[in-house]
Amino acid sequence: MFQSVAKYTNDAGGIEKTLKLVQSFSQVAEVIVASTPKELAMWQTAKDQANIARRFFRLFKWIDCWTMCYNLIQGYTTPKQIAGDEKGKTIDQSREDADSDTVRGFLMSAKFSLLGIFLFMEMFCLTDAMHITHTSWALPLQIESLKYWFWSLAASALLGLYDLYLLESGPAETAETPMSEKIQQAKVTVKADGKERSTVVETTKTVSQDPSRASRRQAILKGILADGCDMLIPVDICGWMPLGAVPVGIAGSISAVLGGSDVWARVNP
């Protein structure tokens, strides 16, 4: 258990999701839990410090986002041959695959390009958030950047819905799931007639190669829910729909738990 926790806390994504949970919970606590000015200041400090710490984790993430977007555009603009391939697909089937790839590529490009714009603009507001500088343009720039984050989340949610549509409209899952065999070795020591003899015993474990349709559906729905919760944050801050600190904090906490569970599953397979 401690080793699993250590792997999670040593991962950048795990730390970021933990800080997000601290920030969101503190936002709720400063309204519901805090009963004195001292407690209110404590929860506000926890929220602000967690927010600043999270910004350092994504300070230059805009480079990764724009690189991903560029690679996607390059991949989808490369001419592809539409014909029957070695798998026996017809021309119509290949056209359908190309169209679905185009839609998915467009949504992914929109997601990462808009996310990169948000992170790039937010980077210039960090020193004001740390109270090192006090400029007149930092707050308006931060609000404008959050609008791009909202549209990036909207593109991500649409991408999840599209993946869900492809999953549901695909061929029915067969009863037989592709399996693979994993051979494990264990050393066994046997004591007989006053002598110890060691033998190596091989055990074969059958594991599934591909996730089932149900697990893929669950992962897609989890991503859509996390995107929907995160969308409430810019909606409230930008003034499109004032929701209040508590609903936004609860939504952020749900998103942090969902994202943290994915990181936990990744570092502890």
Angle between helical axes of 61-77 and 91-123 (0-180°, round to 10): 160
User: Which residues contact residue 234 at a Cβ distance below 8 angstroms, ignoring those fewer than 6 apart?
Assistant: 146, 147, 149, 150, 153, 240
Residue 183 inside a domain? The answer is no
* pLDDT tens, the chain, 269 aa long: 888 989 998 999 999 999 999 999 999 999 999 889 999 999 999 999 999 999 999 999 999 999 999 998 888 766 555 444 444 444 444 444 545 578 888 999 999 999 999 999 999 999 999 999 999 999 999 999 999 999 999 999 999 999 999 998 877 655 454 555 555 555 556 555 555 666 555 555 554 545 688 889 999 999 999 999 999 999 999 999 999 999 999 999 999 999 999 999 999 88
Dihedral (C-alpha) 20, 24, 26, 27: value to the nearest 10 degrees? 140
Taking the model in full, what pTM does it have? 0.78
195: in domain: no
Whether residue 205 lies inside any domain: the answer is no
Tens of pLDDT, residue by residue over 196-243, are 666 555 555 554 545 688 889 999 999 999 999 999 999 999 999 999
169 is a domain residue = yes
Query: Beta-carbon neighbour count of residue 26 at 10 Å?
Result: 22
188, burial (CB in 10 Å: exposed 0-12, middle 13-18, buried 19+): exposed
Q: What are phi and psi of 77, to 5 degrees?
A: -95, -10
Q: Count how many domains the chain has.
A: 1
Which residue range is the domain that position 96 belongs to? 2-178+211-267
Considering the domain boundaries, does residue 125 fall inside one? yes
Helix (H) or strand (E) holding 2: helix 2-9
Whether residue 109 is contained in a domain is answered as yes
Angle, CA of 242, 245 and 249, to the nearest 5°: 115
3-class state of residue 10 by DSSP: coil
Residue 129 falls inside a structural domain: yes
